[in-house]
Amino acid sequence: MGDLPFYLFLDDNGYTARSIIGEIGEENFYSNSC
């Protein structure tokens, strides 16, 4: 997969990408990539 600048976590709405650079919680978005 390579070195991604964020971690992917399983969520009810899909995947939650939380950016390492920044505060966890503020910089996060949902992506529907199945």
Residue 12 has a pLDDT of: 59
- Cβ distance 2 to 8 under 8 Å? no
Q: What's the domain range around 15?
A: 1-34
Report the pLDDT value the prediction gives residue 11, as an integer from 0 to 100: 58
pLDDT in tens, 1-34: 566 555 565 555 555 555 444 454 444 555 555 4
Q: What is the pLDDT of residue 34?
A: 44
**How many domains in the chain?**
1
Residue 3's pLDDT is: 62
pTM: 0.15
For the chain, the residue count is: 34
Strand partners, 16: 9, 30
